[in-house]
Structure 1
Amino acid sequence: MTVTAAEKATAPRLRADASRNRARIIEAAREAFVEQGPDVPLDEIARRAGVGNATVYRNFADRRDLIHHVALSVMHKMTGHARAAMAEEPDAFAAVTRFTHAAADERISALCPLISQHGDPGDPELEQAGEQLKDTVVELVTRAQQAGLFRADVGPGDYLATVAQITRPLPGSDCMSVDGFVHRHLQILLDGMRAPARSELPGRAVTMEDLRRST
């Protein structure tokens, strides 16, 4: 069968439309999961994404599959944020600061409970993306420490765990109620991590390996 020029031109456009729809669904799902929890109706996600219900079900086998791809998307985006910050910021601590605020905007603190309760923490694809993100965060913090700008007694594990805690919604509060002050609190955290240190911390610096063993 001969394919016409019009059909050849239409095929890439259809693929691009499908790709955009998929991206919109993932982004809408991320926002909905943060605001309403992982049990938010898929119909609501379709509405937010501006697509029909059938488009959601055509792209994702079920809720678990959608959660899987939301988690992957956030981890890949955060790795990209970290690399861009290291490449573009004027100094290593400015890169840490930029990444920290980006982490809050991406709701990275919602990932762990989302995956542990409704996903598959042992999934190889998620593990690989998670390790890639952690390795990039280690590089981000290490660069700032080597430049003498980040406290040497604060480990990458300290940093990542604290950012996750600060950006997590307060118990009994609306998920979105943290938006008014989370960036303020993150800046307080960053000021406390800047070198030279003004106090002596108890215990030892927490590494990424410490975090792995605790999960």
Structure 2
Amino acid sequence: MFVVATASQPRLRADALRNRERIVTAAREVLVEHGVESSLDEIARRAGVGNATLYRHFADRRELIHHVTLFVMGRIADQAETARSEESDAFQALRRFVHAAADERIGALCSLLADSGVDRDHPDHVVARERTEVAIEALLADARAAGQLRDDIAIGDLMVAITQLTRPLPDSGCIDFDQFVHRHLQLFLDGLAAPARSRLPGTPVTLDDLRQKAAQAASRTTDLSHP
């Protein structure tokens, strides 16, 4: 079980730590299902704790979401590192990681960062993000070095695809949408394999590229709201 520890967080008793783990796990499930405005009462109920216990660990919704996003990034990094260490075939390690990352529903959780006001530059977020990026880049580098990954793909291309395929479709009425995720991911992964059957338009996308585009979009939104 991955739990983010911070320098400012006091050491918890075993029972308090278990409660905190249950709350974060339940919050992840509820936030995936219902979004940023999910009921904190429902999160406490699903975690099997009282509201007072939830607020004893997390002062407000924003702090809880902060820890949920750290939790998910930690799990994704764990999945990448484990796949790389346990799989002898570089592309199979990449396949294993992509399917595991999809199960974390990162597309559903991605909107939390935008909608909740969580500080992406918080030191805890920076550390977790850097660990995750290093772990995924290592998988890509291994597959590329083995001649198994096409050379016009970067980490941004990979993460956008996983995010899009795991983002809930609003008001789609598409029952059992999840059954298609791993099928479509497998098609996507087949398209990543070398030798490539075509040349992709544009250039490979890094996570820095994505962050710059997100910052530009946020700036435009701010400008429009403050004429």
1:20-52 residue CA offsets vs partner (Å, 9 max, x unmatched): 111111010001001011111111001111111
Which of the residues 12, 20, 36 maps onto 1:38? Answer: 36
8 Å contact from structure 1 (residues 157, 211) kept in 2? yes
Q: How many residues align?
A: 202
User: 1:99 — aligned with what?
Assistant: 97
Q: Indicate the structure (1 or 2) with the bigger Cα radius of gyration.
A: 1
Shift of 1:203: 1.6
CA RMSD of aligned residues (A): 1.7
User: 1:8 — aligned with what?
Assistant: none
The alignment partner of 1:57 has SS state of: helix
**Structure 1: 5+ residue runs without aligned partners?**
1-13
8 Å contact from structure 1 (residues 169, 176) kept in 2? no
8 Å contact from structure 1 (residues 109, 165) kept in 2? yes
Shift of 1:106: 0.8
Separation (CA, whole Å) in 1 of partners of 2:123 and 2:204: 28
For residues 1-215 of structure 1, what are the structure 2 equivalents within 5 Å?
A: 15-118=13-116, 119-173=118-172, 177-215=176-214
TM-score using structure 1 length: 0.88
Runs ≥4 in structure 1, deviation > 6 angstroms?
A: none
Shift of 1:174: 6.3
Q: Percent identical across equivalent pairs? A: 55
Separation (CA, whole Å) in 2 of partners of 1:25 and 1:170: 26
Note closer, same or farther for the CA distance 1:144–1:176 as it changes in structure 2 (3 Å cut).
Answer: farther
8 Å contact from structure 1 (residues 154, 193) kept in 2? yes
Separation (CA, whole Å) in 2 of partners of 1:53 and 1:177: 32
The alignment partner of 1:196 has SS state of: coil
Separation (CA, whole Å) in 2 of partners of 1:167 and 1:61: 29
Shift of 1:178: 2.7
- Output the amino acid matched with 2:68: V
